[in-house]
Amino acid sequence: MMRIGLFPGTFDPVTFGHLDIIERALPLFDKLYIGIGINSNKQPMFAAETRIQWLNELFKNEEKVEALIYEGLTVDCCRKIDANYIIRGIRYVNDFEYEKAIADMNRSLDENIETVFLTCLPKYTSVASTLVRDVIKNGGDVSQFVPDSVLRTIRQRTNRNGIFA
């Protein structure tokens, strides 16, 4: 039986923290899907198609990785792609409490899908997409938090006054 994992998230934008979790999840699975979840209650900074392009560029040489966009329940996405595992990154203790509640709900919805928690490297604990978006909105330098493909997009969308558009 193939070990297929889904790493769900918004990836808005993709950060080095995300890449850390993906790279460390790769040896554990035969196939790893990166699922960009669409939440109608959230207005993303970057289009889902842009986020897919970043992920496809970043993992173009890794045949085990495939990025996709999904809407609705994560367990439904898992069923569609035959994933038995959900991968979640943990930075702090409060992340674990929040993620465990979601994992318990997912297990209640489908007992065949297990959640795997991976802790990020200490240097990435402060790298959250929400914080990175705040830095972008305020004209700060995010080059230490995001890969080059993401940085290029941000620079293309930043005007002469440093304002992100």
- Selected catalytic residue, list 24, 51, 91, 137: 91
Question: Would you call 91 a catalytic residue per the annotation?
Answer: yes
- Place 95 in a pLDDT band, splitting at 50, 70 and 90: confident
Burial class (CB in 10 A: 0-12, 13-18, 19+), 157: middle
17 is in an annotated binding site: no
Per cent of the chain over pLDDT 70 is 100
Q: Say if residue 158 carries a ligand binding annotation.
A: no
pLDDT at position 86: 98
Task: Name the more confident of 21 and 91.
Answer: 21
13: pLDDT strictly greater than 80: yes
Mean pLDDT score across all residues of the chain? 94
Contact 23, 61 (CB under 8 A): no
pLDDT category of residue 131 using cuts at 50, 70 and 90? very high
Say which of 3, 31, 42, 60 is annotated catalytic: 42
pTM: 0.94
Residue 125 annotated as binding? Answer: yes
Question: Is 80 in the active site?
Answer: no
Task: List C-alpha distances in Å: 136 to 10, 46, 64, 165.
Answer: 17, 12, 31, 10
Section 109-123 average pLDDT: 95
Is 127 annotated to bind ligand? yes
Tens of pLDDT, residues 61-72: 999 999 999 999
Count of other CB atoms within 10 angstroms of residue 155: 11
State the pLDDT at residue 7.
98
Tens of pLDDT, residue by residue over 155-165, are: 998 877 777 77
**Domain chopping of the chain, boundaries:** 4-161
| Residue carrying the six token digits 């790769």 | 26
CATH superfamily of 4-161: HUPs (3.40.50.620)
64 among the known binding-site residues?
no
Are 65 and 30 within 8 A, CB to CB? no
Helix 93-109 to helix 74-81 angle (10° resolution) is 60
